[in-house]
Amino acid sequence: MGTKKIEVVMRELDLEEGKVIVRPTYLSICAADLRYYFGQRKKEVLRKKLPLALVHEGIGKVLYDPCDRFAVGENVVMLPNIPGTVLPYVKENYLSDSIFMSSSTDGFMQDMVGIQAEQLIKIPNGDRVYVLSELMSVAFNAIMEFENTANPRRRVAGVWGDGNVGFVVALALRYLYPSLRVIIIGKHSKHLQYFSFADQCYLVDELPESIRFDHCFECVGGYGSAEAISQMIEHILPGGSIALMGVSENEVLINTRKILEKGLKLYGNSRSSREDFQRSVDLITNYPEVASYLQTIISQVHTVRGVEDMYTAFEHNETGDFKTVMKWSV
Amino acid sequence: MIYAGILAGGYGWDQRKDDMPKQFMPIGSKPIIIHTVEQFIVNPSIQKIIIAVPENWVVYTKDLLRKHITAGDKIDVILGGHNKNNTLHGIVNFIEAEYGIEEKDVLVSHDAIRPFVTQRIINENIEAVKKYDSANTAVPTIDTIIKAGKEKQIVEITPDRIFYSEQTPQTFCLKKLQEIYKNEQLAKRHVNAVKMFMEAGNSVRLVYGEYANIKIVTQYDLEVANAILRDKTND
C-alpha cells in the first residue's frame, strides 16, 4: 500500500520456520493505518516504510499449523508485535529491535497471514467483537503501568479523549476499579453519548473550574494534545500521574513548571504485550457487558472482497463515529 | 395490570445499521428514549414498563435509565426483534413468563422515537381498551391523499377528513394479543400488530393523537424535535 493507493501483490507461501497460517476474518482500521493511507506521516517516514500491507488489528481462523498447536478452523486473535530481545524490566512492545506488523513489516491485510504461534491467542468464537482486542490491550498496557507508577489514591480518574482509545481506557477502568469515579472530557457531544458507563462526561470547554483528579489519561493525540495536557496539569491533584497515550506528529509544548510544582508523574504508553492481549481477551470473554459496550463502537462493517472494497473502507472511515471493521472476504 | 411496551428495537430507516440508533440521540438535555419512558413513568395507571432494544444496546439502556430515572424497579429491558410486530411479540412473551397474563391485563405499546406522546393520549388508549379490544392512535391527514397508478398518473383524489395518519400508542387486551400470537402464520405475515389484530376478527377503536406526537426518524425530525422542546421550555 502506498499513499491512497492499494495494490495487489502476490507472494510465495512460506511454510518454513514453523509459522502458522491464518486466514483473517475481521480486520479493524486504526488511526495509524489512516495516517499511512492518507500520507499524513512525514515524507521521509513514508518513503522508508511504504509500500506496506497495513492493519494490525485482526482476528482469523487457523488454516494450517505444521506443529499442531492449533486445530484447523480454530479462532484466534493475531498479535502484531514480534518480540526481539527479552529484558525483564522493559516490556517487549517498547524495545527497539521488536518488529511491529503494519509498521516495520507487513501487517494483516493479506489473503493468508504467516505468523508465529507465540503471536496468536485462542478465542472461544469468531465474534467480530474480538477484533477490538488489540485496542483494548493498549488500554490494559497503560493501566498495568498506571498500577505500577501511580500513587495509590483511586478516587477520581479523568480520561481526556472521546475516541476509540478514550472509550476502551474508560471501559477498562470501570471494570478494573469499580469504585473509581471515571470522568470523560471530550470535544464531541455525539461521541460522549456512547460513554453511558462513565460517571460523568464533560465537553472540554465546560469542565467545571473546581473539579480535581487523582490521575489522568491522555487519549487525545494530534493537535489537541497540548490543550488536553495543560488542562490535566491544571486540574490534577499534587502527586498525581498522567498516562500519555495519544500519538502526535509534532512536538507538544507542556508546562513543566506546573509539573515540578505539583510533583506530577508523566509516563508514555504505546502498543501492548502478549500479557495485555490475554487480559483483554479474558475481559471480553468473561464480561458480556464489556463485549456489548465494545459492539456499540463498531460503527461500520464493510465486506471486503477486493481492492475496490478496501478503498471504500478506508475512504469512508471518517463518516462513522468510531471503528471501521472490514469483514475480510478476499 | 396495565403494562407499557416501549418499542426501541429499530435503528431508524435513514441510518446505517452500525451508527447509534436514533432513540438514544439526545434532544433537549436527555436521550429521546428517556423523554418517552418518562411519560409512562408518571402515568399512574401504568404499573410496569418493558423496553425492547436492539442487540448490544441492553446494558447501554440500563445505564441511561440508572442515570435519568429513579423508579427503575418499574422497568424491564429486553432484546427487541427484527420488526415491530416481532418486538411486540417478544414483550408479550416476556410478560407471560415473568408476570403471567390475566383477563383484564392491558398492553400499551409505543414507539420509543415518539417522545411527545401526552398523558391524554395514553389515558384515552387505556379507556378505549376497557370497552373495545384494541385502540390505535391517529391524526387526520392534513394534506389531501392522492392515489397514483404505476405510471404515476393520478387515479383518485380522496375526500378530505376520512384518512388518518397512524401514530402510537397501539393498545391491546393482552389476553387476546397472546392468543393471536399462537397463530404463527398470522403473526409472521404482519408487521403492524393492529392490522394483525383486525384480521383475527377483533375491533379497533381510533384514539385521537396529536400532530406533535411525531416519530423521530430523520436528521430533519431531530431538528424539529429540538425546536418543539425549545418552544415548550420557553413558554
Q: Does A298 touch chain B (CB under 8 A)?
A: yes
Contact A299 B18 (CB under 8 A): yes
Indicate yes or no: pTM above 0.90.
no
Q: Which residues of A touch B20 (CB under 8 A)?
A: 190, 193-194, 296, 321
Beta carbons of B122 and B161 less than 8 angstroms apart = no
| Axis crossing angle, helix A164-176 with helix A133-149, rounded to the nearest 10 | 60
Distance (Å) of CA A57 to CA A17, A28, A128, A246, B229: 23, 5, 11, 17, 43
Grid cell 530481545 in the structure block, residue: A85
B235 pLDDT above the threshold of 50? no
pLDDT exceeding 70 applies to what percent of chain B?
95
Q: Which residues of B touch A189 (CB under 8 A)?
A: 26
B126 pLDDT above the threshold of 60? yes
B135 pLDDT above the threshold of 50? yes
Measured distance CA(A210)–CA(A183) in Å, rounded:
14
A311-327 tens-digit pLDDT: 999 988 877 889 999 99
B169 pLDDT above the threshold of 80? yes
How much of chain B is helix, strand and coil, in % rounded to 5? 40, 25, 35
CB contacts < 8 A, A to B, total 41
Contact B56 A296 (CB under 8 A): yes
Specify whether the backbone of A271 is left (phi greater than 0), alpha (psi in -120 to 50) or beta. Answer: left
Grid cell 513543566 in the structure block, residue: A256
Cβ-nearest to B19 among A293, A295, A299: A299
pLDDT of residue B161: 79
Q: Does A315 touch chain B (CB under 8 A)?
A: no
**Interval B1-11 mean pLDDT:** 92
Confidence tier at B130 by pLDDT (50, 70, 90): very high
Q: Does A303 touch chain B (CB under 8 A)?
A: no
